[in-house]
Chain A
């Protein structure tokens, strides 16, 4: 839980001028990471405020805010989605890094490429298959807040769409000869 370190910038071999496309790819990842940060901090702040006020009201005055127990139904999915996008942008998802550690350096890029392709495929198939659920959730309304459930479910579209885009950008960078930083246990584990 060391305080947030920014993801190490991708290294480049040989110090050539980076092509525009690859700079654009990194830029897009950075923008997504910032959107994740803003969403996450906002939702965390609102939930903290609502629950704290509710606890104080309940213990001090015996009343409460009815929606304090329902607000998480919409905001927690967005906090998680924001966190998932930040983690994806910084390559900080929990993985078993045994094989990359054993792979000779010159083959590592192929392994990383395979992993990124798998991530993009999986995220895209989840995104594609979620449509019936999104449609169904547009009929449901939270009882005290009066908000449609689809506002919460759409966080899945953001999270998995973000993962597809970040994965695609990583593939671009790998094909363009830029090494992504290798896994570092202090940054990738959450035990």
Chain B
């Protein structure tokens, strides 16, 4: 039977490559009993819509986003707590462990099975006029964020003036000077050419985001154990590839962007961690056990 694997990435993106790999591994592993139709570039809808489609059985699998997924399982949003992970491998260790399992159990109650976590990179700040190596540099900065409460909380704690805006409207809004800057993973910044408008890139690494790979529960429950194992194996193997590509891309992008006129600086991580401690208090009030578990798992 045909399995639709849908995602929002365009050719060249690590997620795109990994989805093709997933299709290959899964088809091989099931001995041709299943063929995979990969639908890239949001042709099956945006992240939120792909999740609806998966749980309604319209598509079978989606490589999705942390933001959309946290609309269904709010706990997933906690992975974006400021400066939670020292680096990417630290994040992976947590996601592949007990925390990942717990999130999967929550998701299953909403009709979705989490097959595994790929990467979406760490977010950094870009500014039109200056670097923001110290939290004080952010004071009063008009910064665009996605409509995501965690991100807004982080920048309010830092004394900036965050305002959410649709991604599609961002380049125009930055050009008009309505915002002083924005924050995104380097791959997004590069693909939308945002470094041409906001050339001052500060490696803040303030927020990690995963790419949950999710299957519809109806489809998943109807599979035999061997096929389920194939889906998990495909997700893990393609995920290893995606994570290494993602790391590489981040490293390749810096010189590329510098050659195109961007200027990089590294943020004072300890100062930032101190300045965003209040965000932990806010979320610990709502999810006391999970926040504690996350901090411990991440080695804080």
Contacts and interface: CB of A to CB of B under 8 A. Distances in A.
A136 B71 CA distance: 12
B142 A136 contact: no
A136 B48 contact: no
B52 A137 contact: yes
B194 interface: no
A49 B227 CA distance: 52
A143 B152 CA distance: 11
B57 A69 contact: no
A142 interface: yes
A59 B178 contact: yes
A10 to B, nearest CB: 40
B149 interface: yes
A144 B147 contact: yes
Contacts, number: 67
B164 A69 contact: yes
A66 B164 contact: yes
Interface residues of A, number: 21
A132 B55 CA distance: 8
A64 B72 contact: no
A8 interface: no
Interface in B99-134: 110-111
B25 to A, nearest CB: 27
Contact of A140 (B48, B147, B166, B178): B48
A58 B149 contact: no
A136 B55 contact: yes
A139 B152 contact: no
B149 A132 contact: no
Contacts of B165: 64, 69
Given A69-B166, A143-B149, A144-B147, 14 more contacts: A62-B142, A63-B161, A64-B164, A66-B163, A69-B165, A135-B56, A136-B53, A139-B111, A140-B48, A140-B52, A140-B72, A141-B71, A142-B71, A143-B67
10 contacts: A62-B161, A63-B163, A64-B163, A69-B166, A70-B164, A133-B56, A139-B55, A143-B67, A143-B147, A144-B149
Interface of B: 48, 51-53, 55-58, 67, 70-72, 74, 110-111, 142, 147-149, 152, 161, 163-166, 178
